Homo-oligomer: A and B are copies of this chain.
Amino acid sequence: MKSALKIAVAGLGTVGVGTLQLLDRQAELVATRAGRRIVVTAVSARDRRRDRGIDLSAVRWYEDAVAMAADPDIDVVVELIGGADGVALGVIETALAQRKHVVTANKALMAEHGTRLAARAEEMGVALAFEAAVAGGIPVIKTLRESLVGNRLARVYGILNGTSNYILTTMRESGREFTEVLGEAQKLGYAEADPSFDIDGVDAAHKLAILASVAFGRPVDLAGVYTEGIRHISRLDIDFAEELGYRIKLLGIARLTDEGLEQRVHPCMVPRATPIAAVEGVFNAVVAEGDFVGRVVLEGRGAGAFPTASSVASDLVDIAAGRHVAAFGVPVAALSTLPGAPMERHQGAYYIRLMVVDQPGVIADVAAALRDEHVSMESMIQRGRAPGEAVPVVLTTHVTVEAAMRRALDRIAALASVIEPPRMIRIEDF
């Protein structure tokens, strides 16, 4: 057997501890499969005295993670600190500069600096591996980059944020409103005290930007991701979705269009019979559509210490076994120059919900606004009558251009009989 692979782990939060537990408990298994032992030689975290339930007596302890990354007796640095910049970035840059392989679960950092770091790893002849950065334990990076390597992809999309999916699932199942369910999720530890990272789509946007780079061989383009969260989703919309045969999911979607690569994170109406509609609670799923393979669906746990550690271990074993793939599937110099498609040019169908005063002529005014912007209505539901009071009106449109839809919504919002801002949810056709 070859000599052991010596690794250093930077960051001992839940994923860091989970990774150490995996490498300890599965040490024999991993050694047999990798052809050599994987040994944790050094760790770094803020508080040495905290009891993490793991024995660290045999490893070198660094207060300074960046100093650890420069330790000459280390082959691989595993960065599990988090954050797009600061110490995490310092650790990775130092490791690469010292020709050490890097494994990271850091989506924010990869979304911000992925292309530059990939170029640096390539230059130094080492791996930059990040299976754990997208969709936790689901092997989506390896699948896109290695298994579907013979395919041109048309679209990649998925449920990339478990917190949002949990909230939407619970709202539907329990009949409760967003704020109440969010509060409960916070109590249960499924949502952070400051939940905006998850529920405003930021986390999903990071993951989508990375996925899109791998799927389409294009530099990471986080700024090109249109991002919208789930705060404005109400019970009323969830009920109407059911009635129309849809389910509301926060999706990240990257799609090739005539305008270039479209990248967007927003709530979607998805047909109830499509596989992704059935992915509930904290589970994540990713769907890839290739020209030869057709549709491939991967589902599993998108977060958590152990699933994420499973992906870290996968990257470590590839490095231990000498299996190398370029970070984004091709050398950085060969990444595509395909432009990004602006959201205003997006084409799709739309669900619109209005709260209107129930009086004659309202629907005619709304219909006129749509007609003036050349938006074609597909269906209209006006449920219940309450003369003189507010009632919901739901419209769905045929495929139209986002910019036209927005102009029509501005006109509709300005109507005196429309008493709340219109709600718009894009309908995704699978």
- A interface residues (Cβ-Cβ under 8 A, vs B): 18, 22-23, 26, 29-30, 32-34, 131, 137-139, 142-143, 146-152, 217, 275, 278, 290-301, 304, 306-307, 309-314, 316-318, 321-325, 329-331, 334
The CB with the most chain B CB atoms within 10 A, among A143, A149, A291, A298, is that of A149
Q: Which residues of B contact A329 (CB under 8 A)?
A: 33
Q: A275-B299, A293-B307 are in contact. Are A147 and B142 (CB under 8 A)?
A: yes
Q: Is the CB of B292 within 8 A of A150?
A: no
- Minimum C-beta distance from A129 to chain B (A): 12
Q: Which residues of B contact A323 (CB under 8 A)?
A: 146, 323-325
Residue of B nearest to A304 (CB): B294
Our pick among B22, B290, B297 for the contact of A297 (Cβ within 8 Å) is B297
Our pick among B146, B275, B300, B307 for the contact of A317 (Cβ within 8 Å) is B146
Q: CA separation between A243 and B296, bound complex, in Å?
A: 31
Q: CA separation between A147 and B146, bound complex, in Å?
A: 11
Q: Is the CB of A307 within 8 A of B324?
A: no
Q: CA separation between A413 and B420, bound complex, in Å?
A: 69
Q: Is the CB of A22 within 8 A of B310?
A: no
- Minimum C-beta distance from A348 to chain B (A): 25
Q: Is the CB of A300 within 8 A of B309?
A: no
Given A32-B334, A33-B329, A149-B317, 4 other A-B contacts at CB below 8 A?
A22-B150, A26-B292, A294-B301, A321-B324
26 A–B contact pairs at CB < 8 A? A26-B152, A30-B149, A32-B330, A34-B149, A137-B294, A138-B296, A139-B143, A143-B143, A149-B317, A150-B310, A150-B317, A275-B278, A278-B278, A293-B301, A293-B310, A293-B311, A294-B301, A294-B304, A294-B307, A296-B298, A297-B298, A297-B299, A299-B299, A321-B324, A323-B323, A323-B325
> 10 nearest interchain CB pairs?
A150-B313, A139-B147, A293-B310, A137-B293, A296-B300, A297-B299, A323-B323, A292-B310, A292-B306, A149-B317
Our pick among B139, B295, B301, B304 for the contact of A300 (Cβ within 8 Å) is B295
Q: CA separation between A329 and B299, bound complex, in Å?
A: 23
Q: Which residues of B contact A331 (CB under 8 A)?
A: 32
Residue of B nearest to A145 (CB): B33
Q: CA separation between A138 and B149, bound complex, in Å?
A: 13
Our pick among B30, B148, B321 for the contact of A150 (Cβ within 8 Å) is B30
Q: Which residues of B contact A22 (CB under 8 A)?
A: 150, 292
Q: Which residues of B contact A143 (CB under 8 A)?
A: 139, 142-143, 147
